[in-house]
Amino acid sequence: MLVIGSNMAKMKPWVRIPIDIVQETYVLVREGDGLTIKGNKIGWVSWNEDSTFKDISDEIEIGRSLLVDPHRLSYTWLTTVIIEILDTNQNYIKFRTSNSVYKLTKLA
């Protein structure tokens, strides 16, 4: 049984709890409606001919989809298949999927 009055005197008024604050590394913006997705990790998904998952890569390629923040059983965003790479730079990639145009920026 916890008696609050007797334990309160022993507690320190400020307790520091170390936590990792994860800042977003990537920003994905969809042209047209400005939908903005922020994430810490990305991957480029390859598909089998029957549209099932094949593998995930670190490199963009036509025929792959962008996966933002992949987790064990979920993810933040998955684009449709990339049909054209429009522009690349050291910090961003602009690409067209089968139904949208996206700009992916890597933050410093």
DSSP 14: -
56, containing H or E segment: strand 53-57
Q: What is the largest CA-CA distance in the chain?
A: 68
pLDDT, one tens digit per residue, over 4-24 is 555 555 656 666 666 565 567
pLDDT, one tens digit per residue, over 67-102 is 999 887 888 999 999 999 999 998 999 999 999 999
* Domain extent listing, the chain: 23-106
What distance in Å separates the CA atoms of residue 18 and residue 15, rounded to the nearest whole number? Answer: 10
Q: What is the pLDDT of residue 2?
A: 47
Mean pLDDT to the nearest integer, 38-55: 94
- 66 vs 12 pLDDT, higher one: 66
Q: Which of 107, 49, 56, 105 is nearest to 78 (CA)?
A: 56
